[in-house]
Amino acid sequence: MPLFTLRLLLLTGLLALLLAGIGCLTDASHPAFSFGWWALLFFGVITWLTGWMGLRSLKQSARGFVTAVSATVMIKLLASAAFVATYAWITKPDSPVFIIPFFVLYVVFTVFEIREVIAAQKRHASSSGTSQSA
């Protein structure tokens, strides 16, 4: 199993434990809480897909890597907007508070993805013997 996948599973598991802990301390029937679980699942899957696309393209070419990362940012943005709109349309929440866990998870998974892609790019550059200069 690739290192990216293992780290993503670890992050998702830790966030699930945190979300479960928050549920024990607060009202677990609140729409924000249920949306948090859906958002965790959504970001786990979309981060794996976009990470897989980016890392796969890194093995092919540097130009393809930049294109793939740009495409994954757009895919993630559009998929996120569609996900929130669909959830809001189906559940019709009383207030916009339901979106807070989504944004927190968006930031956490985005930081994770950026960190992993940069680390992979550095590993790839050092293993191919090329150095980048400014």
**pLDDT for the residue 119:** 86
Considering the domain boundaries, does residue 50 fall inside one?
A: yes
In a domain, 69, yes or no: yes
Cα-Cα end-to-end distance for the chain: 35
* Residues in CB range of 56: below 8 A, 6 or more apart: 68
The pLDDT of residue 134 is 40
- Is residue 78 in a domain? yes
What DSSP string runs through 10-72?
Answer: HHHHHHHHHHHHHHHHS-TTSHHHHHHHHHHHHHHHHHHHHHHHHHHHHHH-HHHHHHHHHHH
- What percent of the chain stands above pLDDT 90? 37
Q: Are 105 and 40 in contact (CB under 8 A)?
A: yes
Q: Does any domain span residue 129?
A: no
| pLDDT at res. 31 | 66
73 Cβ contact partners less than 8 Å away, ≥ 6 residues apart = none
The number of folded domains in the chain is 1
* pLDDT reading at 131 higher than 70: no
Q: Write out pLDDT tens, residues 10-69.
A: 999 999 999 998 888 877 677 677 888 999 999 999 999 988 888 888 778 777 777 888
Query: Does residue 8 carry a pLDDT above 70?
Result: yes
- The answer to whether residue 24 is domain-embedded is no
In a domain, 25, yes or no: no
Residue numbers of the domain that contains 110: 35-119
Is the residue at 30 inside a domain?
no
Residue 88 has pLDDT above 80, yes or no: yes
Say what the pLDDT of residue 97 is.
81
Residue 108 has pLDDT above 70, yes or no: yes
Indicate whether 5 belongs to any domain: no
Take residue 114 and report the two structure tokens written for it: 């950026």
Residues 117 and 54 sit within 8 Å (Cβ to Cβ): yes
